[in-house]
Amino acid sequence: MRFNKRGSFKKNYGGSSGGTTSTIPEWAQPYLKNVGNAAESAYAAGELGKVAGASQLQQKAFGGGAQAIERAAAGGTNTLNQQQARLADVAKSGAYNTQALKDAAILSAGQETAKLGQSYGAGGTLGSARQAVAQGAQNAATAAQFATIDRDAAQKNFENKMLAEKGIAENVSGTSSLASKATSDLANLGNQQRGIDQQGLDATYQGLQRYASTIYGNPARQQSTGGGK
């Protein structure tokens, strides 16, 4: 009998036939046998197939998280839809109201006309040709003021429409991004929940793996040695 390079022992037998010996020291064999028996008992009792399911916090997160994502998506979509409606109105009209400016111009023109009447009345020339010329000039100035208001309004409405069109495009993009994010968040949440569910479904397989790793992981291999004379 002699030791091999691995520190275990083997026996040489006389004759041409080979012999087979265990590479496990005798003192270790009872311990390995106990491990095997324990693994066998645990596997038979289903102890090796136990897996942890979703915790209460995880279950709460899955349910509450999905609802929160859906509420956020619905709220954001509703806000964007309202904004879209407002932008559509601006894109059509420009939303530049000139009424206040024109009312102010009319008031100013009326005040100037009253001054002309007072001035020519005080001079004894009320209703004269000179007053008519002055009034005509005043009317022309008021008309020019109205034209300026309309010109500026047209330019402002055009700018507002362009800004509204840009806002609509950004709004559409935001709605798409919001929907995409909500879908992605729900998918990620679902994948986490599915992973935990899959662990439960794989309980039997995991138990078998653990059993096999315990039984076949033991260094209980046999080593065959050739005999010699």
Residues of the chain with pLDDT under 70: 1-22, 24, 50-55, 215-229
Q: Does 74 lie in the same domain as 29?
A: no
Q: Does 195 lie in the same domain as 157?
A: yes
Within-domain flag for 152: yes
Q: Does 146 lie in the same domain as 88?
A: yes
Within-domain flag for 191: yes
**What is the model's pLDDT at position 53?**
66
pTM, to two decimals: 0.42
Helix (H, G, I), strand (E, B) or coil at 125: coil
Strands (E), the chain: 2-3, 9-10, 19-22, 222-225
**What is the model's pLDDT at position 22?**
64
Within-domain flag for 56: no
Q: Does 220 lie in the same domain as 175?
A: no
The CA dihedral of 126, 127, 132, 135, to the nearest 10 degrees, is: 50
**What is the model's pLDDT at position 228?**
46
Q: Does 220 lie in the same domain as 155?
A: no
Q: Does 192 lie in the same domain as 86?
A: yes
Give the DSSP H or E segment for 11. none
Q: Does 38 lie in the same domain as 13?
A: yes
DSSP 17: S
Cα 35 to Cα 129: distance, rounded to the nearest angstrom? 127
Q: Does 141 lie in the same domain as 83?
A: yes
Which amino acid is it at 35? V
Within-domain flag for 55: no
- Give the number of residues written for the chain: 229
Residues 6+ apart with CB under 8 A from 223: 8, 10, 20, 21, 22, 23
**What is the model's pLDDT at position 84?**
82
- Side-chain-side CA neighbours of 98 within 13 Å: the count stands at 18
Residue 168 and residue 101 in contact, taking contact as beta carbons nearer than 8 Å? no
**What is the model's pLDDT at position 188?**
83
Residue 152 and residue 28 in contact, taking contact as beta carbons nearer than 8 Å? no
Within-domain flag for 10: yes
Q: Does 181 lie in the same domain as 109?
A: yes
Domain enclosing residue 71, as ranges? 63-201
Cα 57 to Cα 1: distance, rounded to the nearest angstrom? 63
